[in-house]
Structures are given as C-alpha cells and as structure tokens.
Amino acid sequence: MGLSDIIARIDAATARAGRAPGSVALVAVSKVQPPERVEAVLAAGHRLFGENRVQEAAGRWPPFQARFDGIGLHLIGPLQTNKARQAVEMFDVIETLDRPKLATTLARLADERGTSPEVFIQVNTGAEPQKAGILPDDTDAFVAEVRKLGLPLVGLMCIPPVDEDPATHFAMLADMAARNGVSGLSMGMSSDFEIAIAHGATHVRVGSALFGDRAYELV
Ligand SMILES: *Cc1c(COP(=O)(O)O)cnc(C)c1O
C-alpha cells in the first residue's frame, strides 16, 4: 500500500472518530526496510519515521538527512542505557522510556546537553513478562517520577499482546493518559491503527502496510 493510501485510511478513521483533521501523526516504521523503499516514501513527501534500533538508525539516516529537510525520527524499540547518549543525539522523540534507570540517565544527559528529545512512556498494558514497558499499576508513579526529573513527557505508548483484542489495551492506555494529564498516545500498527485512532491515538506506528513485508522480523 502506498503512502497516500495509508494517509487516506488515517484521515477516514480520524473523521469517523469525530476527531480534528490532522490530529493523528503517521510514524512510518522503516526498520529493516531496504533504503529504496524508504527513499520512495521520503520522495513522496513524508518526513516522520520510526526505528527500532539505535545502531540501524545511525547507519541509515545521516545520508537521508543530508538530502531531505525536516526529517523527524522516533525511537520505538528498547533502549539500553549504554546507547542512551547516541539515542538522544539522533532521535527527536524516544517512545520507549520504560524504567527508572533509563529516566535518570536521560535526565542526566538532558542536563548536560541543555536539551532532550521528547519522551513517551512505554506501558506494558498486557503485563507480559517478555515485553518491555512499565506495568499498568506502576504507571502513575512513573509518570510523576519522569516529570520530577524534568524530562519532556509528551505521551504514553503501548504494544498490545498479539493474541488479544487490541481495543481493550488502547482503551486502557487512553485512560491512563487522561488521568495523568498526558496528551500523546502512540498506539496502533499496520493491523490495528484504525482501531487505535478510534480510541484516541495521536501517533500510529505503521511499517509493513506502508513499506511492504520486512525481509526478516526483529525480535
Ligand atoms: C515493527 C514495529 C511497528 C510496525 O509494525 P507493522 O506491523 O509492520 O506496522 C510498530 N511499533 C513497534 C514498536 C514496532 O516494533
């Protein structure tokens, strides 16, 4: 599916939900995709992208940034503390703040650099043992902690369990955001972004529906 098809689907879902036109941003998830597919989406005018890995993003994006103005990059994969410095230098938004130690590291880097990427807190809405994210019960306290550290918290993010109805998880995340006064909601991927928009997503992360299947899956 091309960029214009995805944007048309986002716009239609936004309208169906009675939400303002343009209130949902498309984060085009370019991880693992061949450069020519990414370049085609850039050439079509899109500028907001998501990557899972700091290393992969560091190899891919500098040459594109030299040729295309206004590229925004979101980190949507787990961030190891020892890659935090490289991540804050490269990404405009870190969507995967998922633990206190990473929050203190990001706050220290922000003090040092005088600037910080915006952050989303990743919530493990399904409380899955293998999945990153703050547990639902710990989220309110973590939001307070992140704010106290002075980090620019703009949203919550989740990846629902594969075998469950995503709507339940999107609704849970929207509730948590509302009660904490957080405005951003990064939720919804290729298979469920329209459902996420119905539940208030402000950012949808779409990879394979836009670029085609990935040659291999990141684990
Ligand atoms: C890969 C990935 C996506 C995109 O997944 P698709 O199903 O290809 O749209 C979105 N969010 C995260 C966190 C991902 O890792």
Evaluate whether residue 216 is within a structural domain. Answer: no
Q: Is residue 218 situated within a structural domain?
A: no
- CA 207, CA 190: separation in Å to the nearest integer? 6
User: CATH number for the domain including 31?
Assistant: 3.20.20.10
From atom 7 of ligand 1, which residue's Cα is the shortest distance away? 190
Mean pLDDT of the chain: 96
Helices (H) and strands (E) in the chain, counts: 9, 8
Residue 219 lies in a domain: no
- Token pair in block for residue 129: 């043992």
Task: Show the domain range for 182.
Answer: 3-210
Whether 218 has a pLDDT exceeding 70, the answer reads no
Query: Quick one: which atom of ligand 1 is closest to the CA of 214?
Result: 8
How many independent structural domains does the chain possess? 1
- Mean pLDDT, residues 138-158 taken together: 98
- Provide the pLDDT confidence category of residue 215 given band limits of 50, 70 and 90: confident
pLDDT digits (tens, 9 = 90+) for 154-176: 999 999 999 999 999 999 999 99
Per the domain annotation, does 132 fall within a domain? Answer: yes
Cα 44-46-47 angle, rounded to 5 deg: 140
pLDDT at 216: 63
Query: How far, in Å, is the centroid of ligand 1 from the Cα of 183?
Result: 21
- Ligand 1 atom at minimum distance from 189 CA: 9
Work out the average pLDDT over 7-22. Answer: 98
Query: Residue 219's pLDDT is what?
Result: 45
Q: Is residue 176 part of a domain?
A: yes
- Is there a domain that residue 217 lies in? no
Q: Please report whether residue 215 resides in a domain.
A: no
Angle between helices 35-43 and 54-67 (to 10 degrees): 40
Task: Tell me the mean pLDDT in the region 21-46.
Answer: 96
> Looking at ligand 1, which atom is closest to the CA of residue 31?
1
Give yes or no for a contact between 176 and 140, defined as CB atoms under 8 angstroms apart. yes
Residues 170 and 201: beta-carbon distance below 8 Å: yes
**Distance (Å) from CA 167 to ligand 1 centroid:** 17
What percent of the chain has pLDDT above 90?
96
Q: How far is CA 191 from CA 32, 69, 208, in A?
A: 18, 30, 9
Ligand 1 geometric centre to CA of 103 (Å) = 23
pLDDT in tens, 42-74: 999 999 999 999 999 999 999 999 999 999 999
* Beta-bridge partner residues of 26: 204
Q: Which residues line ligand 1 (CB under 6 A)?
A: 29, 31, 52, 76-77, 159, 189-190, 205-209
